[in-house]
Structure 1
Amino acid sequence: MERASRPQVGLIHLEVIDRFNFAEFETAVRSEGLDLRIESRPDPGPYAGIEWLIPTAVVIYIGKAYFDSFLKEAGKDHYTVLKAAVSSLSSKFFGKNTPKGRVVFSEGKAESEHPRYSIFYSIVADFGDGYSVKLLLQSDFDADLCNEAQDAFLQFLSEAAAGKLDPNAVKGLSTAKPIGHTLLIAYNPDRRALEVIDPLGPR
């Protein structure tokens, strides 16, 4: 999705994944006046880069305009609808009998046999001023923990859009340094809270 024409809500998936898998999400989220797009992208093959910045097989995209304009016109009911649709979709990727995988890097780079964060699913949001924020979800999360993380992230986005965000509520946010205009955030299940992740720091 080109920055100049990004939707209010989007879903980007590898083209090897049948679009039919996202029909329920699309039907639930679609609403009059909402710019919703489902797009596919080709399998890029091996990567050369920072693992946590690599696009997952399925990415939910939430534009800043979703909070800034659409919800103001459509009302908060759609926010509840979006949360439910996201929860339903993510349940396909977390818990028992869900897909497992590894990241394959370009020649000369190491393989990540057991990625800490899911390589199949993530949420990316437009944070304004050319920056985005990505929610990383731990590969070993079950569906309940995944939903806790997503709810916390969506609340974070809502508060940020309303100018009511307490930077101290997210560990590391006040001193965060985005990499490539992307801020990485994860959910700490012990603290039951979001925290900034430094992809260049110790693992």
Structure 2
Amino acid sequence: MNETKLPENTSERLIAFLDAAIAIALTLLILPLMEGVSEATGEGHGIVEYFDEHLSQLVAFMISFVIIAMFWRMHHAILLPDTPADRRRTTLQFAWLFTIVVMPVVTALVGGMDTGRIIVACYIGTLAVSSLLLFVIAVVERRKRASAGLPYPVTMPAGPLAMAIGFALVLVLALIVPSYFWLFLMALTGFVRIGLIRWGVVGREPAPDPVTA
């Protein structure tokens, strides 16, 4: 009697769940702005008054939308559907997802409160933790695919690591001088990534995964 081989547990369902959760987080970013529209309409304000009163919320929304989209794009390139799934990877993905779904909350705080060290630390700190977890995900993913004999780019962790370094630097500077303009320094992330690859910080062959080796 021939035994039927069960199909390997891949990451397709996990990716579908993560994509849906990220899409919801992006949608929730708009809620404070929708509430502002209702208030402005009820008070008889025009479009100029609305933009004047809610400019900080609009800017916070646009910045967070772009950042979450950037994180998703990088995560989409790292987590591939044919990678074998396991509990450790899933737990790590949920830890990273938490930093994404909490973004609508910290974005609302940024748009509704005056700039201060605590608010800046909450916002930029969340981004720093998210990028650091994304780097860990990239390292684990690369090792997992190497152990399974699947193709992978050896420079996979370079982008997330460059972002983690950038956000950490921005966080330190913003705590010294509270301002969100420090985020413009993230434009240098591409150069940091190139440096990490050139200096050999990333790009080496990964060690075997102890779980599957």
Structure with the higher fraction of residues in strand conformation: 1
TM-score, length of structure 1 as denominator length: 0.29
Kindly name which structure, 1 or 2, has the bigger radius of gyration based on alpha carbons.
2
Q: Which structure: greater helix fraction? A: 2
